[in-house]
Amino acid sequence: MSTLPVQQTSPTFVGMPSFPEAAREALANTQQRDNLRNATHTIRAKRAAVVAEVPEWESLRVAGADAKDEALTHLGDYLEQLEASLTANGATVHWARDADEANAIVVEIARAKGVDEVVKVKSMATQEIELNEALEAAGIAAWETDLAELIVQLFGDRPSHILVPAIHRNRTEIRDVFLREMAKVGRPAPEDLTDEPARLAEAARLHLREKFLRARVAVSGANFAVADTGTLVVVESEGNGRMCLTLPETLISVVGIEKVLPTWDDLAPMLQLLPRSSTGERMNPYTTMWSGVHDGDGPQEVHVVLLDNGRSHVLADTVGRQALRCIRCSACLNVCPVYERTGGHAYGSVYPGPIGAVLNPQLRGTASEVDQSLPYASSLCGACFDACPVRINIPELLVELRGTVAEQGGHRAESAAMKAAAWVLSDPRRLAVAQRGATTAGRLVGDRTVRRVPGLGAWTDARDVPTPPKETFRQWWARERGES
């Protein structure tokens, strides 16, 4: 088996507040919570309807999981095959160990073309490595062309959903930012713009059209990369991706190494699983495929950057590697009771929700506070596994990661509390003393609600403390039955 490029530096990601801190802020934002609830419930209902139409849905899930597992088990071989296929078709393949290497490759290509702007297809890999910021630092503007990504960019915001990055915004907010910001970076929005979806989409189309027509370099990701044919695949709903992938002279695709599929046949179940699981559609409105340079049709120079950035670390874990099956459908987000209330920003990465809670700590390690807290950002209800089209057992991974955090000494306050509880509960005399103390506190507190406890400020910011009982069961038994 061929070996993967050895990762010599740490993966690079966006730094954000810890999950508990960011979640408290999200819970206080009632408008955002309403937006999230309405959007996720709508997508969830559409998905349920179209999945129910497919009697062999479970067989498709198994086929998708098997194809990804085959690719991951022999990833080195399939990546070399992908490189050979792409190269034979006239593409140039680059290998990037981390974000810095990937960004440097893209910046160097753009500079060689003498451009000061690029257009972009929606890509989580480029968000992961902060490519837009790297291009900006090099004096190159990166224009997002996906409608939701454009909204996020105009807000100066971060995506909060894998599929619908601006899910936390409503129509009125979008209209206002179009009127305020579009004129600063290109064609202004019409002065009489309303918040009707059709009018907002038209304003975005007119704003972006001039960028499509003048751009000489485009940047994309890929949903899938087929090893035996060297085919890269992007699926989308709007058509902006196809404009980026066909009009510019030079195309740069940043592709995570886990996106590879062994054969063309393996693509078939994916193109059935992904649209139903993501947008609740029977098929993608636009599916664009390319495998290199073709005379007179499409870009005349194609570069493919194969990105590691922590993925080889995940691959080394025989249990955890199943997270690399993820096809970025977002089905797990839409059924998750935690994500529905906190939104994506609380997860501290471009990968939010249940899959982010397992993928981020695996890619980055569990040294930071945010990555220690993410495996606990779940009720372990199992809805995410039921929804996942490639059968990633996210609850299993969450439990495993919680064990890793505990072994590494993370969550010290919780660990100390559990050790103290074990010490008290292991001896009847200690338990009796603790119960007498609790009942004394209960009589002092009375019927008042305990809203804050010294030393537990962060924990009690989002919940009331149960009022201590005025009497234990043993005391009640002794009083009622006269027995101790």
pLDDT digits (tens, 9 = 90+) for 2-14: 334 434 344 444 4
CA 337 to chain centre: 16
Residue 69 located in a structural domain: yes
How much of the chain, in percent, has pLDDT values that exceed 90?
67
Over residues 20-49, mean pLDDT: 84
How much of the chain, in percent, has pLDDT values that exceed 70?
92
Residue 4: the pLDDT is 43
Q: What is the mean pLDDT of the chain?
A: 89
Residue 471: the pLDDT is 84
The tens digit of pLDDT for each residue in 236-251 reads: 999 999 999 999 999 9
Do 275 and 142 share a structural domain?
yes
The secondary element (H helix, E strand) that includes residue 252 is: strand 250-256
DSSP character at residue 266: G
Do 307 and 423 share a structural domain?
no
CATH number of the domain bearing residue 220: 3.40.50.10420
The answer on pLDDT for 446 being more than 80 is: no
Instruction: Quote helix, strand, coil % in the chain, to nearest 5.
Output: 55, 10, 35
**Rg of the chain on CA atoms, in Å:** 26
Q: How far apart are CA 147 and CA 131, in angstroms?
A: 19
Parallel/antiparallel/unpaired status of strands 141-144 and 231-236: unpaired
Q: 115 versus 297: which is more confidently predicted?
A: 115
Residue 20 located in a structural domain: no
Q: How far apart are CA 121 and CA 144, in angstroms?
A: 7
CA 28 to chain centre: 22
Q: How far apart are CA 291 and CA 302, in angstroms?
A: 9
Tokens of 30: 């009632």
Do 254 and 140 share a structural domain?
yes
Domain boundary among 311, 330, 365: 311
Residue indicated by tokens 């893209």: 106
Residue among 315, 343, 245, 251 nearest 33 (CA): 343
Residue 29 located in a structural domain: no
Do 427 and 286 share a structural domain?
no
DSSP character at residue 144: E
The tens digit of pLDDT for each residue in 367-379 reads: 888 888 899 989 9
Q: Which domain holds residue 434?
A: 412-481
Residue 176: the pLDDT is 96
pLDDT bin (cut points 50, 70, 90) of residue 305 is: very high
Q: How many helices (H) and strands (E) does the chain have?
A: 23, 10
Residue 132 located in a structural domain: yes
Contacts 24+ apart (CB under 8 A), 237-241: 237/279, 237/281, 237/284, 237/285, 237/286, 238/146, 238/147, 238/285, 238/286, 239/285, 239/286, 240/121, 240/145, 240/146, 240/147, 240/208, 240/212, 241/121, 241/122, 241/145, 241/146, 241/286, 241/288
Domain boundary among 311, 336, 368: 311
Q: Please report, to the nearest 10 degrees, the dihedral formed by the alpha carbons of residues 249, 129, 352, 26 taken in order.
A: -110
SS3 260: strand
Residue 112 located in a structural domain: yes
Which residues, 6 or more positions from 409, have their beta carbon under 8 angstroms from its beta carbon?
A: 415
Do 430 and 299 share a structural domain?
no
The answer on pLDDT for 222 being more than 90 is: yes
141-144 β-sheet, strand order: 92-96, 301-307, 250-256, 217-220, 117-120, 141-144
Phi and psi based region of residue 139 (left: phi greater than 0; alpha: psi -120 to 50; beta: remaining) = left
Residue 177 located in a structural domain: no
pLDDT bin (cut points 50, 70, 90) of residue 453 is: low
DSSP β-bridge partners for residue 297: 294
Residue 12: the pLDDT is 45
Lowest mean pLDDT among 9-13, 78-82, 169-173, 309-313: 9-13
Domain boundary among 246, 278, 311: 311
Q: Alpha helix (H) ranges present in 171-266?
A: 171-185, 197-214, 240-246
Q: How far apart are CA 250 and CA 301, in angstroms?
A: 5
Residue 461 located in a structural domain: yes
Do 302 and 449 share a structural domain?
no
Do 426 and 277 share a structural domain?
no
Residue 421: the pLDDT is 86
How far CA 196 is from CA of 178, 254, 279, in Å, comes to: 13, 34, 20
How far CA 331 is from CA of 47, 148, 355, 417, in Å, comes to: 8, 18, 10, 35
Do 421 and 281 share a structural domain?
no
Do 284 and 428 share a structural domain?
no
Over residues 41-66, mean pLDDT: 96
Do 87 and 233 share a structural domain?
yes
Domain count, the chain: 2
The answer on pLDDT for 29 being more than 90 is: no
The tens digit of pLDDT for each residue in 116-160 reads: 999 999 999 999 999 999 999 999 999 999 999 999 999 998 898
Q: 316 versus 406: which is more confidently predicted?
A: 316
Residue 385 located in a structural domain: no
Do 258 and 137 share a structural domain?
yes
